Amino acid sequence: MEPQGFTLWFTGLSGSGKTTCSRIVEKELRARGHKVEMLDGDVVRENLSKGLTFSKEDRDINIRRIGFVCEILTRNEVIAITAAISPYRAVRDENRARIGRFIEVYAKCPISVLAERDVKGLYKKALAGEIKNFTGIDDPYEEPLNPEIVIESDKETPEQSAQRIIARLEEMGYLRRSNGASKNA
């Protein structure tokens, strides 16, 4: 069955563990011999979507661009991993429909925990009204309705989350079951 590309789409609020967990999954997939590309939301915004604002329209454009790149990678037997807030359900669903082999990972974490772990203090500033249009505070974040995988970074370590993701991908038939050769996840 392998190799076949697919898109592993991490969504969740800022600081919810998307990038940390996705990097661990990326490392495990590479150790298993897969072609993998990581598209981190912050890096994409700097290189592919520079100049876009944080308006709803520009956020949608950014997420559609990421989806377009994921579609190309998936079609070419690459595993595309995306870690982007992607706050609007409709655009995530558009990408799911466009890509087909799309697995949504919801990195769920309460805002109270995110504010505590936020070294830049952005949540506290947003909660105090000092930052406007902050996703999850005064700008919406639409939780996924039926994600294939939910990780809870306030209840499990990034390594535990990554192990659960790999196990779910095996269960869904996207990956062969490991013989225990790699213990990176």
Task: Reply yes or no on whether the pLDDT at 94 is more than 50.
Answer: yes
User: Is pLDDT above 50 for 63?
Assistant: yes
Confidence of residue 29 (pLDDT cuts 50, 70, 90): very high
Cα–Cα distance for residue pair 105/103, rounded to 1 Å = 6
Q: What is the mean pLDDT of residues 50-73?
A: 91
Position 47 confidence tier, pLDDT thresholds 50, 70, 90: confident
Q: What is the pLDDT of residues 96-142, one digit of tens each?
A: 999 999 999 999 999 999 999 888 888 989 989 898 888 989 889 99
User: Residue 11 has what pLDDT?
Assistant: 97
Q: What is the mean pLDDT of residues 44-58?
A: 83
Compute the mean pLDDT over every residue in the chain, rounded to the nearest whole number. Answer: 91
pLDDT of residue 181: 46
**Band of pLDDT at residue 1, cut at 50, 70 and 90:** very low
Helices (H) and strands (E) in the chain, counts: 7, 5
pLDDT of 93 reads: 97
DSSP codes, 29-66:
HHHTT--EEEEEHHHHHHHTSTT--SSHHHHHHHHHHH
Q: Which residues are catalytic?
A: 86
In which band, very low, low, confident or very high, does the pLDDT at 182 lie, cut at 50, 70 and 90? very low
pLDDT at 183 over 80: no
Whether a cis peptide bond, with omega within 30° of 0, leads into 3 is yes
44 neighbors 80 (Cβ within 8 angstroms)? no
Percentage of the chain beyond pLDDT 70 is 95
> What is the percent of the chain with per-residue pLDDT over 90, rounded to a whole number?
70
- The domains located in the chain, with CATH, are 6-110+142-171 (3.40.50.300)
What's the predicted TM-score (pTM) here? Answer: 0.91
The pLDDT, as a whole number, for residue 13 is: 95
